[in-house]
Chains A and B, each alone.
Chain A
Amino acid sequence: KNEVEQSPQNLTAQEGEFITINCSYSVGISALHWLQQHPGGGIVSLFMLSSGKKKHGRLIATINIQEKHSSLHITASHPRDSAVYICAAVSPDKLIFGTGTRLQVFP
């Protein structure tokens, strides 16, 4: 079992839908990253958070340290949001990545 698990693995949505991607981890962490990887490979850092909630545009990330769980929400989804979303947990001595959630948003 991976120390960082994401769900779902694949997600399809219609434009405008509210999207939730989940990340659960089994290790103690100091922070958690959310990354976005577009087709072709380029990765963009979306959020780094250690508690509570962060918002940037239509993206919202939350983390519950007690439950060892983080969520990434996308409001009013758009086809350009189609990408792989990756969470990464910062444990005391290493950075552990989830396998990613592939999101496709159709017009």
Chain B
Amino acid sequence: ETGVTQTPRHLVMGMTNKKSLKCEQHLGHNAMYWYKQSAKKPLELMFVYSLEERVENNSVPSRFSPECPNSSHLFLHLHTLQPEDSALYLCASSQDFLAGQYNEQFFGPGTRLTVL
């Protein structure tokens, strides 16, 4: 148990659906992250939130919309996705985030997303 949970663990959706991924951390951390891991590709950092404010957005298409209502919860809202968006989506948290520094992160188990 890493202290970071993600739901659902598996999700299958059509290209016209709207769905949301949820991440919750029980570690009292101030920073949260969304990553995408596609087959045969390196991990890609999508978004970083620090104290509920988005501090990094790494050229992610607008069909992915993050939301951080408080420091314990992070959502990734999905709409009109493409089949190439099928991947493992990982959430992580860290104690703090300082610009240009990436300290030790604690990862959730991921959501395996399939877009048909």
Contact = CB atoms under 8 A, between A and B. Distances in A.
Contacts of A44: 2, 107
User: Looking at A30, A90, A97, A99, which has the most chain B CB atoms within 10 Å of its CB?
Assistant: A97
Contact of A41 (B42, B106, B110): B110
B90 interface: yes
Size category of the binding interface on chain A: 20 to 34
Interface in B96-116: 100-110, 112
A100 B42 contact: yes
A4 B42 contact: yes
Nearest to B43: A97
Contacts of A41: 37, 88, 90, 109-110, 112
B1 to A, nearest CB: 10
A100 B100 CA distance: 23
Contact of A90 (B41, B42, B101): B101
Nearest to B110: A41
A53 to B, nearest CB: 17
Nearest to B94: A45
- Tier of interface size on chain B: 20 to 34
Which of B2, B43, B109 has most chain A Cβ within 10 Å?
B43
Nearest to A43: B107
A67 interface: no
Contacts of A76: none
5 contacts: A4-B42, A43-B90, A86-B43, A90-B100, A90-B102
Nearest to A42: B109
A27 interface: no
Given A42-B110, A43-B90, A44-B2, A99 B102 contact: no
A96 B37 CA distance: 13
B68 interface: no
B38 to A, nearest CB: 11
Given A45-B106, A97-B44, A99-B40, 16 more contacts: A30-B100, A31-B102, A33-B102, A41-B88, A41-B110, A41-B112, A42-B107, A42-B109, A43-B92, A44-B107, A45-B104, A86-B42, A86-B43, A90-B100, A92-B100, A100-B42
